[in-house]
Amino acid sequence: MDFNEVKVNLRKFAFPLSTENALNQIQSIINGETTRKQHLNEDLAMDLISEFVFCETNEEGKPTKPMSRIRHLELLVMICDYFNKPKIKPDNDNCCGDTALNAIFMTLFPQFGAPPLRTNMLISLISLAISTYSNLILQSAGIQMQQLGCSSKYSSQLADGLVKRFFTFIDAKNPSLHLLPQNAPLFTANLMTSLSELYFNKKTMDISIKEPPRVVLEIIVRWINSDTRLCFTAHYTDLQRALPSGAIPMAATLPFLGLFRWCFFAPLCVKNNNDLVLYSELHCALIDSVMEGWKVYAAENPRVSCPYTLSVHSVVPQQLKDLIDEAIKSNDPMALHSVDVVLERLAQSINASIISDTIFGNKQDLVSQLESLPENKVLKLLIKRIQL
Amino acid sequence: MEMKKHQEDQFAKLTAFLNETKQPFINVQTDQITRAMELLKVLPAAQDAVLEYYGKFFDYAISTYLKQLKVQPSWVESSNTSSRHEPPIIPPEVIENVTNIRDVLLRLVEEDHLVWAPVVLHWSYKLLGKVSKHYNMHEFARMPLGDMLRFWSQCSVAYILVDINNKTIAKMVKSEGERSVDSMIETMLGYKSSSFEWVLAQIGDSFPSLVIMDMLLCGIKEMCATNKFKHTEKLNSFIRILDHLSITYFANIKEVVLQLFKLSLSEEHQKMTAENVTIVPFLLHMAMCSSTLLKSMLCENLIQITPEVLNKLLPLYPQWKDFFDDQCNLLDIMVQVLLNADRGIKHVFSLIFQLIDCEDPKFKILKTGAQSLFELFLAELEYSLRTNHTTPPIVKALVTNLHTIKPYLLSTNVNVAQPAARLLSCIAIRDEECLLPYIATMLVECENGTQLETLVEILSFGVNMANFDGGLVYALVKPDISLANVWNNINTLLSLESDPPEGISLHGVSMAVVSHLDKICRSMIDCCHSGDMYSAHLLSSILSKVAAKLCMKEMSVPKVLYCVKAAVLYFFTCLFKEQDEMFKLKACLRMNKFVNTVSYRSSIARTAAMKYILDGVLKEPFSLLFVMPANRRNDYIIQPLEKTSLMGIFLQQKFNSMFGEEISVKFDKDELHPKHKTPVFDAKSVQFNELRLVSFLRSCYSSDECYSFEPTLDTVVSLALLVVQFVSPDVMYNGLPWPDEDFTKVTIERDVHIYHTITTKPILWTILGILAGHRPALCYCSVLLRAVCACLINHWGAVNHTKGKSKDNPQLLDETVKLLNTMSLGQLLPKPLDVLGVIVQELTPQQILIVLRDCVWTYTRDHIPAPALFLRNNIGGMWRDTMAVSVPKPYSDSLRLTMIENISQFGDLYARLFTNNKEQSTET
C-alpha cells in the first residue's frame, strides 16, 4: 500500500472515525510484516500519529492549533478504549502487557521526535488510565519507563506531571491508587524510582531541596507495605517477552537508593512533625523490604540473580555530609538529635543490605565512607561489624 | 469484577459528559453542570476539559448579553441616561447555571484551597482575559477604564466571574497570607491587551494594596530587565488602573509607595537585588507619567524621609545612573516631577531646606545635591513662568503653602534664605499679591544683616519693588508688634537705596516710606513721649532720608502739620533728654534740614513749625531748656504746668487727642513733675540749646535749602506776629502805636503778664533779637516792647523812691539793657538813641527812669515805628534812613543832659554823638 494512499484514505473520515482508523492502520504497520523497509514504516506511523491521532500537523505537515481540552479528553478516552479492547493474544501476564500494544505505545509516545505537547498528553493519559484501571496502558508505560531509564527526562517529566496533575487532586485513600501495585507492578515500581529521583536531590540545579507532597509520601509507604517484593519488580521482570522483536531490554533501577535518601535527608530538612512520622514509616517499610522482599521472591524463583539495593559509593552523598556539617555547626540540640537519627538510619539501612547481601562495593571503601561521618554509637557498632 | 464495573462506570460518565459538550448551551440543564462537577473531583484527567466546558458556558452567557447589546445599540450610547432602557437580560436559567458553577468552584476552593485555589484562579483569569478580548473584538475598540468598568458591572455573568476570582484570592490571602497570590497576580499583570484592564481594576478594588504593589513591582522588573525606563502601553494601562484605584484607595497607594521605597533602604547594599536598586528610579520615572503616583509620593509620608535616610540611598546612585541618560538625568526628572507636584510640595521643600541647612559633613554630598536640584528647579520654574501662559501646577500649590517657607526666609543661613527668597520671587512673577505678607513679615522680623539681605534680594528681583509699598502697609497695620524693628529695617533699606551696592536697585523705598509719613510721625511722637530716644533717633534718620522725596509728593495739610509737629517735638525732646552731645547735635542738624525741606515749600508748614517752636519755648517743660541757672527763679517750680499744644490736643488727629493727653499726663508725672525732678541745665548747655534753637528757627523761615540766604521778610514778619500772639494774652492792643504812657494803666495787667513772660523766658529776648536783625520785623512786636518798657518804667519809678542804686537791681537793669539793645538793633531807636543800652548801665535809677520815659517812650509814641519807615537799601536789606531823619531835639535832650551829668564816663561817646551832630547841623 502506498503511503499517500493511506493518508488520503484516512482523510476521508472526520474526527472520531479518522483517529480510530488511524490507530488500526498504525497497528497493522508496526506489527505487520517487519521485513520490508522497517524505517519507512516507522516514518509513516509517526506521520499518521501526528496528523490523525494527535492532530498536531495538517495535511502539509505544518503545525496546527492545539486542540481543545474537550477534544483532548475525547481522544484520551478513545486511546484508552483502544487499549482496553480484547486483544489478539490472551492477556495472561499482568506485568508486561501485550507486546503489540507496547510497540504502539512506544510509537505514540516516543522519547524523541514528538512535540512537547505530547508529554502533556501522556501525563493525562496515564492519569486517566490509573483512574479507569486501564492496566494495559500502565503496563506499556512501565516498560517504556524502564527502557528509557527511570531517571531519564522522559520518566521524570512523567512522574512530575503525575504528581502535579494527578496526585495532588486525588485522595490517598482512592482505591485506584491502592490497586495500582496489583494492576501494574512494573509501572508502580518504576514510578517510585522516578519519583525518588525528583525529591531531596540537587541534581536539577534547583536552589532548594524539594520535599515530596504528602500524598506521594503516603501512597509510597502504602505501596511498599502492601507488597514487600514490589520494589524488586523491575529486577525480576523479563522484558524481552514484552518488547518488539529486536529490542534490547535495559537493566533495572530499584527505588531503594532514592527512597533511602529521602529518609536520610528528611530529619534534617523536613520541619513538619506529621511528615517526619511518615518518613520513619517509610524507613521501616524499606528495611523490611530489603530484608524480606528478595528472600520471599528468591525462595520462589531460585534461578534469578541477586539485585543490589545499596551502593557503597552513593550511600552517603556529599550533600548529606554538608547538611550534617551544617547542623553540627549550628550546635542546636534539635539539629544534633536529627543528625543522630540520620546516622542511625544510615547504619540500619547499610546493615540491612549487608544482611540481605544486596550491597554493592568494597568493604574498605564503605568503612572509610562511614568513618568520615560524625561519631555515633550505632554507627560504631556497624563499622566494627563490617571490619570483623 | 468490581474493577471492571468501575471502569465501565467511569467511561460511561466520560462519554456522557463528552456528549453533553456537543449540545448547544441553550439546552444545558443544571444537573449537567453538577455532573460535570463530579468528574472534576474524581477524574483529574478530565479536569481541563470540564473547566473548559465551564469556561465556554460563561462565554456563551456573556455573548448572549453582548448579542442583545448589538440589537439595542442605543442603550450603549445613552449609558448615562440608562434609566429609560432596561439593561439587556440574560436568561434566568443561564444565570442559575452560572451561579451553580460559581458555587461548585468556590466549594472546591473552600474544601482544599492549597490544591484548588491556583487552578480556579488560573481558570478565572484566563477566562476573564478571553471574555475581555471577545468583548473588545466587538464593536467598542478602546474605551476609558471607567466606561469599561461600568459596562462590565452591568453584565451579571462577568460580575459572577470576577466574584469567583476575587473570592478565590480572598481565600488564599486569608489562609496563606498576602504574598501567596503574588505569583498569580504577576501572571495576570502579564496581560497584553488593554481590554483586560478592568479585571485588574476590579481585583484592585478588592485587594488594593496587593494589586498596586504587584503592578509597581512588575514595572520595576521590566525596567530592571531592559535597564531602561520605557513608557510602554502596559505602564499606561497600570497608570490608568492606579488612577481608578486612587479614588477610593489613595491611602493604600501611598502606603505601598512608602513600602516600596523602604525596600530600597537596605543596610547592606551588596545584598540588595537589582529590583530593589531600581525602585527609586522607577518611582521617579513613574511620577512623571502619573499624577496619582506623583501625589502619593509627595505626601505626608515624606516626613519619614530624613537626611539620614537619604544618606543610605547614596551608595545606590552609581547604579541608578544606568537608568538615566543625558536627555533625562536624575535631576531633570526630579525637577519635572516637582514642577508637576501638588499639595505635597511643602514636605519636599521642608526636606530640601533641611538638607541645605544641614552642616553635618556627613551630608555634604546630599547638601550640594539638594542645592543644585533647587537651583535647577528655580531656573526651570522661572523659565516656564516667564515664557508659558499656562501655570505649572506647582505654582498654585506653592501659593497656598507659602507660609511653610517663611521660616527659611528668616533663616540666618544664607544658603537657606537665598533659595527661599528666590522661590518667593519666582512665584511673584505670576502672583505678585503673595509677596505682600512676606515683605511685611520680613520687615517686622528681620533682625540681622543676613535676614535683611534676603529681603533686599527679594525686593531687587524683577519688579518686586513695586510691591514694597503694599508690604509696608501690611507691616504697619500688623497688630501687637513693636514697630521699632520695622523702622530699623526701613532705615537700613533707605541707606541702601541712596547708596546701592552693585546689582541692587531699591528705588522706591523712600517713596513708599513717604506715604506712611504720618505713621512714622506718630511713632516718633510716641517715642518722644515715652523717652525712647533710640527709636526716636532712628525715626528721625528715616525722616531726614526721605525728606528729599517729600517735595515730590503732594501731601495733605494735616500730614504736613503732623510731621512738623513730630519734628519739633523730637527736636525739643532731644535737647531735653539726650545725654550724648554728639547725638544731640546730629539730631538738631537733621531736624533743621528736615524742617527746612518741609517748610520751604509750604507756608503752612513753616507757620506751624514756628508756632510749635514758640509753643515749646514758652511753655513748660521745654522752656526750662533756655533758662540760665543764674536766672532760675522759684516760680518755675511752683507754677502749674501748662499744656502746650505740642503735648496736648491736636486738631486733626482724633486718635491723638486721647493719646496725647494720656502721654502728657504720664510725661508730667514720671519725668518732669517738679516735685519729682527738676531738670537742671547748666549754663553751657543752655547756651548750646539757645544756639540750636536759633538755627532751628532759622531753618524754618529760611527760603532755601542751605538757609544761608536771608529769609524773606514775610516769613520773619509771620514769626514776629506769632511771637506776639503767643506772648500777649490779648488781641486788642497788639497794634504798632505806642500810646500815651498813662494809657498803659488800661493795659496794666496785660503788660505785667507780657513782662513776666519775657523775663521768665529769656529765650524770647533771643528771638526778639533775631526779629530785630531782620528789620522791620521787630515793629510787629511793638506791643511786647511797649509792655516791657511800661513795666520797666514803673519798676524804675518804684526803685527811684527807695533811692537805691541801679546796680542793686541787676535783674531790672539787665531787662532794660536787653530792651534797649533790641530796640536799637531793630532801629526802633535811631541814632543817637541807639546807644541807650550802653549808657543806662551807668545811670542811676532816676536817670534811667527819665531816659526811658523821655527818650524811649515819648519818642516811639510820637514816631510810631511803622514798617513803612524802612526802605530797601542797595544791598537788599531793609533800612531806616536815620541819617536823613535824625531824632528831634526834645527826645534826645534828656539823653544829652544825662550824659552831661555823667560826662566823666561818657565823654567820648558824647563827643561822637552830639558834637559831630552839631558840626553837621552847623554845616547845614
Give the chain B residue whose CA is nearest to the CA of A131: B43
pTM recorded for the entire structure: 0.61
Q: Identify the closest residue of chain A to B54 by CA–CA distance.
A: A70
CB B785 within 8 A of CB B815: no
Q: Residue B16 domain-assigned?
A: yes
The pLDDT, as a whole number, for residue B917 is: 54
**pLDDT of A299:** 75
**Residue at A190 is within a domain:** yes
Q: A312 with A293, same domain? A: no
**Phi, psi at A118, each rounded to 5°:** -70, -25
Q: Are residues A277 and A326 in the same domain?
A: no
Give the model confidence (pLDDT) of A332-372 as tens digits. Answer: 888 888 888 888 888 888 888 888 888 888 888 888 888 88
Give the position of cell 526779629: B771
Question: The domain containing residue B121 runs over which residues?
Answer: 1-71+88-199
Residues A169 and A208 grouped into a single domain: yes
Both B94 and B194 in one domain: the answer is: yes
- pLDDT tens sequence across B88-112: 666 777 777 778 888 878 887 787 7
Size of interface A-B (CB pairs under 8 A): 61
Q: Please indicate whether residue B38 or residue A354 has the higher confidence score (pLDDT).
A: A354
Does residue B673 have a pLDDT over 60? no
Give the Cα separation of A263 and B176 in Å (integer): 28
Nearest residue, CB atoms, A77 vs list B3, B18, B53: B18
CA A218 to CA B694: how far, in whole Å?
A: 123
A151 shares its domain with A231: yes
For residue B553, pLDDT over 70 is answered with: no
The residue among B433, B460, B487 that closes a domain is B460
Q: Which of A76, A133, A168 sits opposite B45 (nearest CB)?
A: A76
Same domain, yes or no, for B875 and B827? yes
- What is the rounded average pLDDT for all residues in chain A? 80
Closest to A75 (Cα-Cα) out of A53, A58, A57: A53
Residue B562 contacts residue B653 (beta carbons within 8 Å): yes
Q: How far apart are CA A236 and CA A140, in angstroms?
A: 17
Looking at the structure, tell me whether residues A258 and A357 fall in a common domain: no
Cell 530699623 locates to B488
B187 CB-near residues (< 8 Å, 6+ apart): B122, B125
Q: Is the pLDDT of residue A186 over 80?
A: yes
- B259 domain-assigned: yes
Give the residue carrying C-alpha cell 492502520.
A25
Beta-carbon contacts of B122 under 8 Å, excluding residues fewer than 6 positions away, are: B184, B187
B373 shares its domain with B284: no
pLDDT at B75: 45
From chain A, which residues contact B within 8 Å (Cβ)?
Answer: 68-70, 72-74, 76-77, 80-81, 84, 124-125, 127-128, 131-134, 165-166, 168-170, 175, 179, 183
Is the pLDDT at B678 greater than 60, yes or no? no
Residue B649: per-residue pLDDT: 36
Residue B254 in contact with residue B296, Cβ under 8 Å? yes
User: B52, B114, B120, B127: which to substitute to probe chain A, counting the most A Cβ within 10 Å?
Assistant: B52
* Whether A127 and B44 lie within 8 Å, measured CB to CB: yes
Q: B142 vs chain A: nearest CA distance in angstroms? A: 28
Same domain for B172 and B228, yes or no, is no
The DSSP line for B850-915 is HIIIIIIIIHHHHS---GGGEEE-TTSSEEE-TTTSPPPHHHHHHHHHHHHHTHHHHHHHHIIIII
As a whole number of angstroms, the distance between CA A144 and CA A146 comes to 5
Strand A310-311 and strand A359-360: pairing? parallel
Place B659 in a pLDDT band, splitting at 50, 70 and 90. Answer: very low
Pairing state between β B870-872 and A359-360: unpaired
CB contact under 8 A, A70 and B21: yes
CA separation for the pair B221, B215 (Å, rounded): 10
Q: Which pLDDT belongs to residue B210? A: 76
Tens digits of residue pLDDT in B554-591: 677 777 788 888 888 888 887 777 777 788 888 888 88
Q: Domain boundary residue among B324, B348, B365? A: B324
Residue A292 lies in a domain: yes
Task: Specify whether A190 is located in the same domain as A226.
Answer: yes
Name every chain A residue with its beta carbon within 8 A of the beta carbon of B48.
69, 72-73, 124
The pLDDT > 70 percentage for chain B reads 80
* A125, A132, A164, best to mutate vs chain B, most B CBs in 10 Å: A132
Q: Show Cβ contacts of residue A222 under 8 Å, excluding neighbours closer than 6 positions.
A: A172, A177, A178
Shared domain check, B285 and B241:
yes
Is B92 exposed, middle or buried (CB count within 10 Å of its CB: 0-12, 13-18, 19+)?
Answer: exposed
pLDDT given at position B73: 47
Mean pLDDT of B130-145: 64
Task: Write the pLDDT tens digit of every residue in B331-357.
Answer: 777 777 777 777 777 777 777 777 777
- Is residue B365 predicted with pLDDT exceeding 60? yes
Residue B654 banded pLDDT, cuts 50, 70, 90:
very low
Task: Note whether B48 contacts A72, CB cutoff 8 Å.
Answer: yes
**For B690-715, how does the pLDDT look when each residue is reduced to its tens digit (9 = 90+)?**
888 888 877 777 655 555 555 667 77
**B736-779: per-residue pLDDT in tens?**
777 776 666 667 788 888 888 888 888 888 888 888 888 778 88
Average pLDDT over residues A283-289: 89
Please indicate whether, in this complex, the C-beta atoms of A165 and B11 are within 8 angstroms of each other: no
Query: Are B335 and B260 in the same domain?
Result: no
Contact B540, B525 (CB under 8 A): no
pLDDT at B216 over 70: yes
Q: Do A165 and B44 touch (CB under 8 A)?
A: yes
Q: Which pLDDT score is estimated for A94? A: 52
* CB-neighbour burial class of residue B700 (10 A; exposed 0-12, middle 13-18, buried 19+): buried
Assess contact for B674 and B636: CB atoms under 8 A.
yes
- Segment B200-210 shows an average pLDDT of 76
Residue B606 lies in a domain: no
Bridge partners for B872 per DSSP: B878
Confidence of residue B271 (pLDDT cuts 50, 70, 90): low
Residue whose C-alpha is closest to residue B426's, from B338, B330, B337: B338
Confirm if B846 and B800 have CB atoms less than 8 A apart.
Answer: yes
Q: How many Å apart are CA A107 and CA A104, to the nearest integer?
A: 5
Q: Does A19 reside within a domain? A: yes
Q: What is the mean pLDDT of residues B858-880?
A: 75
Q: How confident is the model over B793-802, as pLDDT tens digits?
A: 888 887 766 6
Chain B residues with CB under 8 Å of A169 CB are: 44, 47, 115
Say what the pLDDT of residue A207 is: 59
Question: A294 and A177 in one domain?
Answer: yes
Q: Does B335 lie in the same domain as B304?
A: no
Q: Do A179 and B3 touch (CB under 8 A)?
A: yes
- Residues paired with residue A63 on neighbouring β-strands, in sequence order: A57
Structural domain count of chain B: 4
Instruction: Say if the Cβ atoms of A77 and B52 lie within 8 Å.
Output: no
What distances in angstroms separate CA B541 from CA B374, B524, B534, B544, B713, one per listed residue? 40, 11, 11, 5, 31
AA identity, residue B341: A
B710 touches chain A (CB under 8 A): no
* CB nearest to A169's CB, from B3, B47, B52: B47
ipTM metric:
0.80
Both A300 and A331 in a single domain?
Answer: no
Question: B878 with B893, same domain?
Answer: yes
Mean pLDDT of chain B: 74
Residue B127 and residue B274 share a domain: no
Q: Which residues of B touch A80 (CB under 8 A)?
A: 11
Residue pair B197/B241 in contact (Cβ under 8 Å)? The answer is yes
Backbone angles phi, psi at B703, to 5 degrees: -100, 5
The reported pLDDT for the residue numbered B281 is 76
- Point out the domain boundary residue: A284, A304, A324: A304
- B308-322 pLDDT, tens digit per residue, is 777 777 777 777 777
pLDDT of residue B923 exceeding 50, the answer is: no
Mean pLDDT check: name the lowest of A28-42, B427-441, B648-662: B648-662
Q: Which residue has the higher pLDDT, A262 or B359?
A: A262
pLDDT digits (tens, 9 = 90+) for A144-159: 888 888 888 888 888 8
Q: Which of A273, A304, A335 is the last residue of a domain?
A: A304
Residue A360 bridge partners (DSSP): A311
Task: Evaluate if residue A325 carries a pLDDT over 70.
Answer: yes
pLDDT bucket at B636, cuts 50 / 70 / 90: very low
Q: What is the pLDDT of residue B660?
A: 42
Check pLDDT > 70 for residue A225.
Answer: yes
Chain B residues with CB under 8 Å of A179 CB are 3
Residue B44 at interface with chain A, using a CB cutoff of 8 Å: yes
A357 and A256 in a common domain: no
> Is A125–B45 a contact, with Cβ atoms under 8 angstroms apart?
yes
Contact B436, B474 (CB under 8 A): yes
Map chain A to HEC letters.
CCHHHHHHHHHCCCHHHHHHHHHHHHHHHHHCCCCCCHHHHHHHHHHHHHHHHCCCECCCCCECCCCCHHHHHHHHHHHHHHHHCCCCCCCCCCCCCCHHHHHHHHHHCCCCCCCCHHHHHHHHHHHHHHHCCCHHHHHHHHHHHHHHCCCCHHHHHHHHHHHHHCHHHCCCCCHHHHCHHHHCHHHHHHHHHHHHHHCCCCCCCCCCCCCCCHHHHHHHHHHHHHCCCHHHHHHHCCCCCCCCCCCCCCCCCCCHHHHHHHHHHHHHHCCCHHHHHHHHHHHHHHHHHHHHHHHHHHHHCCCCCCCCCEECCCCCCHHHHHHHHHHHHHCCHHHHHHHHHHHHHHHHHHHHHHHCCCEECCHHHHHHHHHCCCCCHHHHHHHHHHHC
Instruction: Count other Cβ atoms within 10 Å, centred on residue B610.
Output: 27
Chain B residues touching A76 at Cβ < 8 A: 45
| Boundary (domain end) residue, out of A258, A277, A304 | A304
Residues A102 and A186 in one domain: no
pLDDT at residue B640 greater than cutoff 50: no
Could you give the C-alpha distances from B431 to B42, B417, B751, in angstroms and in order? 75, 20, 70
- Please report, rounded to a whole number, the percentage of residues in chain B having pLDDT higher than 90: 0
Query: Are residue B188 and residue B219 in the same domain, yes or no?
Result: no
d(CA B277, CA B331): 18
A250: containing domain: 145-304
Report whether pLDDT(B620) > 70. Answer: no
> Largest alpha-carbon pair distance within chain A?
77
Give the pLDDT confidence score for residue B745 in this predicted structure: 65
pLDDT at res. B267: 63
What pLDDT does residue B677 have? 43
Question: Looking at the structure, do residues B781 and B879 belong to the same domain, yes or no?
Answer: yes
A131 and B43: CB-CB below 8 Å? Answer: yes
Picking from A210, A222, A221, A128, the residue whose alpha carbon sits closest to that of residue A169 is A128
Task: Count how many domains chain A has.
Answer: 3
Max mean pLDDT range (A215-219, A310-314, B875-879): A215-219
b/e for B868-904, b at 16 or more Cβ within 10 A?
Answer: ebbeeeeeeebbbebeeeebeeebbebbbebbeeeee
**Based on the domain organization, do A327 and A295 belong to the same domain?**
no
Task: Supply the pLDDT for residue B402.
Answer: 77
* Confidence grade of residue B327 (pLDDT, cut at 50, 70, 90): low
Q: Kindly give the interhelix angle for B748-760 and B713-727, rounded to the nearest 10 degrees.
A: 110
A239 and A329 inside one domain: no
Question: What is the pLDDT, as a whole number, of residue B19?
Answer: 79
| Mean pLDDT confidence for B73-85 | 46
* Domain-embedded: residue A113: no
Whose cell is 531699591? That residue is: B506
Statement to judge: residues B313 and B374 lie in one domain: no
